[in-house]
Amino acid sequence: MPYKINYPQLFNHSSEKHINQSSTMAPKLPTSCRVQLPSSFLLPDAFLPLTAKRGVKYGWTTAPARGKPNRFNQQSAGLPTLSMSPAAALKRKDFTLPLRTGALAVKKGMTALYDPETGKRTPCTVLQLDRVQVLANKTRKNHGYFAVQIGAGWKHPSVLTRPLLGQFSHAGVAPKRFVAEFRVKNAEGLLEVGQSIGPEWFIEGQFVDARANCLGKGFAGGMKRWNFKGQPASHGNSRNHRTMGSSGASQGSGSRVLPGKKMPGNMGGQQVTTQNVKVLRVDTEKGIVVLNGCIAGPDGCIVKLQDAIKKPWPVISTPGQVVEEAAATV
């Protein structure tokens, strides 16, 4: 018979109850926990601004709060100018923005000019400026950049919405069929609202950039759109002579079609810029400008003309300068 020993001095009913509860429940953590911080000179706010990030919405700029147009005129609060800020972006465009606005013209067709001395034939494009006027100016203070809004042509008021009619009425001009915007470098390139722009805006011999939407071809296959060679005409090929073929590999390229793959789709209809086009003739009476060579777009399309950015800016004399030069010669 086993020998049984009792320990009344070590265990009692209360201690057994406590042991049973502690074995089934997790211990409680203290309600207050004190963490010792490092020295003050080691804290980041001793040598960094109060904000963790630098940006307009984080409060590092001195521009007024909730001032949306003023975010382009921000002044850093003692911090270096950010290379990704709107002000820096406008600064980088100083060398690529023209000094003055452009004009809208309608492509009338192509013809040729002959040199009477040498008999050389020069193909050219005829553009007509139809009632081109200034509708509005955009400034850096209000819009973040400098631009001139130009309108051309005429449109019946009955087919326009009231907001557009209000815009034309505010500018004091007739409803326009075509409206475009031309970026300029600074406030010196802005014009008075309602001012007319004619063919004399350009001078013979200068270079311009012509932008127009090319002729749309609709849905085209790979051979017409991307000049694919096509499939063989014989040797077992059956009814697949103009197909594009494989569009991607299997395991080597991830069993997918890589982005940007040349495939059949919509062809044409996008804006094409023809740079450094020389102005051959300017006829103010007929309202036409003759350009050297061809430009994109079918006959009747709208063309944006502006001074070429890769050529020296043309020397344009203002009316006041012309009067002074005429008085000086007399």
| pLDDT tens profile 169-186 | 999 999 999 999 999 999
Percent of the chain with pLDDT over 70: 71
Cα–Cα distances (Å) from 222 to 216, 219, 229, 256, 258, in that order, read 16, 10, 9, 19, 16
Q: What is the pTM of this model?
A: 0.70
What is the band of 88 on the pLDDT scale with cuts at 50, 70, 90? Answer: confident
Position 296 pLDDT exceeds 80: yes
Please name every residue paired with 77 in a beta bridge, in sequence order, or none if there are none: none
Q: Span 61-87, mean pLDDT?
A: 57
257: DSSP letter: P
Q: Which of the residue ranges 93-97, 101-105, 108-112, 190-194 would you say has the lowest mean pLDDT?
A: 93-97
Are 94 and 151 in contact by the 8 Å Cβ rule? The answer is no
Position 15 pLDDT exceeds 60: no
Position 129 pLDDT exceeds 80: yes
Q: Which of the residue ranges 53-57, 109-113, 238-242, 315-319 would you say has the lowest mean pLDDT?
A: 53-57
Q: Span 200-228, mean pLDDT?
A: 96
Position 264 pLDDT exceeds 90: yes
Cα–Cα distances (Å) from 70 to 59, 78, 149, 218, 238, in that order, read 14, 18, 21, 44, 66
Q: Where are the alpha helices (DSSP H) in 149-288?
A: 162-171, 222-226
Q: Is 141 helix (H, G, I), strand (E, B) or coil?
A: helix
DSSP 236-251: T--S-SS-------ST
At 318 the pLDDT is 54
Please name every residue paired with 136 in a beta bridge, in sequence order, or none if there are none: 149
| Pairwise pLDDT comparison (69 vs 82), residue with the higher score | 82
Q: Span 63-67, mean pLDDT?
A: 52
At 225 the pLDDT is 96
User: Which residue is it, tokens 């309202």?
Assistant: 287
* Mean predicted lDDT score pLDDT of the chain: 82
- Residue 279 CA to residue 205 CA, distance in Å, equals 5
Closest CA to 124 of 109, 104, 138: 109
76 contact partners, CB below 8 Å, separation of at least 6: 60, 61, 62, 82
Cα–Cα distances (Å) from 291 to 207, 279, 297, in that order, read 9, 5, 14
205: DSSP letter: T
Domains of the chain: 61-92 (no CATH), 103-215+268-310 (2.40.30.10)
At 33 the pLDDT is 58
Which tokens go with 247?
A: 């569009």
Position 38 pLDDT exceeds 80: no
- Residue 23 CA to residue 84 CA, distance in Å, equals 61
Are 86 and 71 in contact by the 8 Å Cβ rule? The answer is yes
44: DSSP letter: G
Cα–Cα distances (Å) from 123 to 128, 194, 291, in that order, read 17, 35, 9
